[in-house]
Amino acid sequence: MKKILMIILTAAMALSFAACSNSGASSAQVADNAQNTSQINSNTENKDQQSAAVSDTDSSAENNNSSEGGKILVAYFSATNNTEGVAQKLADGLGADIYEIIPEQPYTDEDLDYNDSGSRSSVEMNDPSARPAISGTIENMEQYDVVLIGYPIWWGEAPRIMSTFIESYDFSGKTLAAFCTSASSGFGSSDQALRSAASGATWLEGERFSASASLEDILAWANSLGVK
C-alpha cells in the first residue's frame, strides 16, 4: 500500500514539474515576444520620426525658397530732408534696405542758393562732368536686385552727386527706378544722365513726389513697377 502511494505521489510531482516547466517556458516566450514587438514598434516609430524630420526639412526648404525674392534697396540724396521723408516711407512700405547718399562736403544754405550763379550747386549743375565726392560706400551691392534712387530736382535734373553714385557701382542686370521731390517741377527727363551711366540696367518709369506725399501714393507708384 505504501509503495502504491509513493508511486502516485512521484507521478503527481512529475506532472507538476512538467507543468511548471511548460508554464515558465510559455511565460518566457510571451516576454520575449513582447520585447520583440516593443523593439519592432520602437524601430518603426524611429523610422517614422526620421521620415517626418526629412519631410519637415524639405518642406521648410521649399517654403524658404518660395519666399525668397529680390532684395530691394532705396538709395537717396536729400539736401534739405524733403527727399529723405519720401525715401523712408518707401523703404518702410516695401520692407527694403535704405541708404543715404551723403556728400563728403555737406551742402550749406549758401551752397544751395539757386539765385546765385556762383553758388556751389549752381556751378556743379552748370558742369555736366562735376562729380561731388560721396562719404562711404554700400557693401555687397550685388545682393540687391532692385534699386530705387531718390533725389531732389535741381535745374530740372538729378544733382551731380547722383551721377557719382551711379558710376560707383555695377548695376548691370539690376532693375532701377528713380523718384524725385520738388515743389513744382515734374519728373521730366531728370534721370536721363543716370540712365546713360547705368545702361546695363533695366530702368522703369520714375515718379515725382511732393515732400508731403502720403504713404499710399508712394506705394502706389512702387506697386505699379511690380518690384515688391
CA distance 156 to 125: 10
CATH at 101: 3.40.50.360
For CA atoms 221, 223, 224, 227, the dihedral sign is positive
Give the number of other Cβ atoms within 10 Å of residue 164's Cβ: 19
Indicate the number of domains in the chain: 2
Judge if 110 and 49 occupy the same domain: no
Closest among 117, 114, 159 to 134, alpha carbons compared:
159
Q: Which of 9, 44, 68 is the last residue of a domain?
A: 68
Residue 135 identity (one-letter amino acid): S
Closest among 198, 169, 170, 194 to 180, alpha carbons compared:
194
Judge if 64 and 76 occupy the same domain: no
The CA-CA-CA angle for residues 205, 148, 192, to 5°, reads 50
Judge if 92 and 197 occupy the same domain: yes
Judge if 37 and 144 occupy the same domain: no
Q: Which of 23, 49, 68 is the last residue of a domain?
A: 68
Judge if 104 and 164 occupy the same domain: yes
Judge if 112 and 64 occupy the same domain: no
Contacts of 75 (CB under 8 A, 6+ apart): 98, 99, 100, 101, 138, 147, 148, 149, 150, 165
Q: Which of 68, 100, 116 is the last residue of a domain?
A: 68
Judge if 55 and 143 occupy the same domain: no
Judge if 50 and 94 occupy the same domain: no
Structural domain that includes position 135: 71-225
Strand ranges inside 59-154, DSSP E: 71-76, 97-100, 102-103, 134-135, 144-152
Closest among 222, 218, 156, 167 to 195, alpha carbons compared:
167
Cell of 142: 550685388
Q: What's the predicted TM-score (pTM) here? A: 0.69
Judge if 55 and 3 occupy the same domain: yes
pLDDT number for residue 43? 45
Q: Which segments in the chain show pLDDT lower than 70?
A: 1-69
Judge if 6 and 89 occupy the same domain: no
pLDDT number for residue 185? 85
CA–chain centroid gap for 91, Å, is 13
